[in-house]
Amino acid sequence: MLYPKLKKALAKIRKLPLHPQWFTYRNEDWHCTKIGEQVAGTVLDIGCANQYMKSYIKANHNYIGLDYYQTAVNWYDTQPDVYGDAQILPFADNSMDAVLLLDVLEHLPRSDDSISEIARVLKPKGTFVLKVPFIYPIHDAPLDFQRWTKYGLQQLAHKHGFMIRQETQMGKPLETAGLLVNIAISKTVLNWIQQKNPMMILGILAPLMILMVNLLCWLFSLISPMDDMMPHSYRLVLEKI
């Protein structure tokens, strides 16, 4: 119970460098806006959570949020428009103008099936926006199955008949490293607290350590060239051929 409560409390400061995952959240609005600009018409958001993406889609659209029943009801207490399985979509062939699959693919045991289903329901020339973590810890266990390099994502897209219109990597090496260090600090302190380990007293230093790691990695990243060695996430905009 401690982890969900802490996660909820930290959500209020996720845009501040005091947050251990600041490097994933600090440009969140910008990235969501860019995604929203890519889609229009009938838009299917698979794994929609609280349907946060709906507000970022500015063009005329018919938004449909889909989520798995267990995830929505038992884990996140959210209400999608449709309950369904991303690997067996309950929609007709060629019925969608756009599909969003944002930080969901890694949680599907049959990832090929989900991409195949997305290709089936998309109209020709339809847009598919895919976002996945790359260098990032296990999360939502046990439903966390795999990671892809950009080359693996390219192969997956071509295999299922998609053309890559845009490819974006998120996180310079130092930013990704800082993100991992801060998650490790937070998880270690959380473990100490749960185990009632005397070391938990050091938890009072965690906010300062997280702030220092975030600011130092950010400052040095500003003067570092972009490098594709270790992004924390990828975003691809694909078109159905």
Reduced to 3 states (helix: H, G, I; strand: E, B; else coil), residue 16 is coil
* Whole-number pLDDT of residue 5: 66
Average confidence (pLDDT) per 10 residues, the chain, 241 residues: 64 91 96 96 97 93 95 90 97 98 97 97 98 97 96 97 97 97 96 94 95 98 92 98 94
Nearest to 71 by CA among 36, 43, 42, 108: 108
| φ, ψ dihedrals at 149, nearest 5° | -80, 170
Residue 99 CA to residue 95 CA, distance in Å, equals 10
Q: Dihedral of the CA atoms 136, 141, 142, 143 (nearest 10)?
A: -70
pLDDT score for 10: 74
Backbone angles phi, psi at 138, to 5 degrees: -60, 135
The pLDDT assigned to 169 comes to 96
pLDDT value, residue 19: 96
Task: Tell me the C-alpha distance between 113 and 70, whole Å.
Answer: 19
Q: So what's the pLDDT on residue 76?
A: 87
Total-model pTM? 0.92
Q: Which domains does the chain have, with CATH numbers?
A: 1-24+173-225 (no CATH), 37-172+228-240 (3.40.50.150)
d(CA 212, CA 200): 20
pLDDT of 75 reads 86
Structure tokens at 57: 């889609």
- The reported pLDDT for the residue numbered 3 is 56
CA 103 to chain centre: 3
Query: Which class for 220: exposed (0-12), middle (13-18), buried (19 or more C-beta within 10 A)?
Result: middle
Q: How far apart are CA 241 and CA 207, in angstroms?
A: 49
Tokens at 156, concatenated: 């997956």
Q: Provide the pLDDT for residue 189.
A: 95
Report the chain's terminal Cα–Cα distance, integer Å: 46
Q: According to the model, what pLDDT value does residue 12 have?
A: 83
- Position 241: which residue type? I
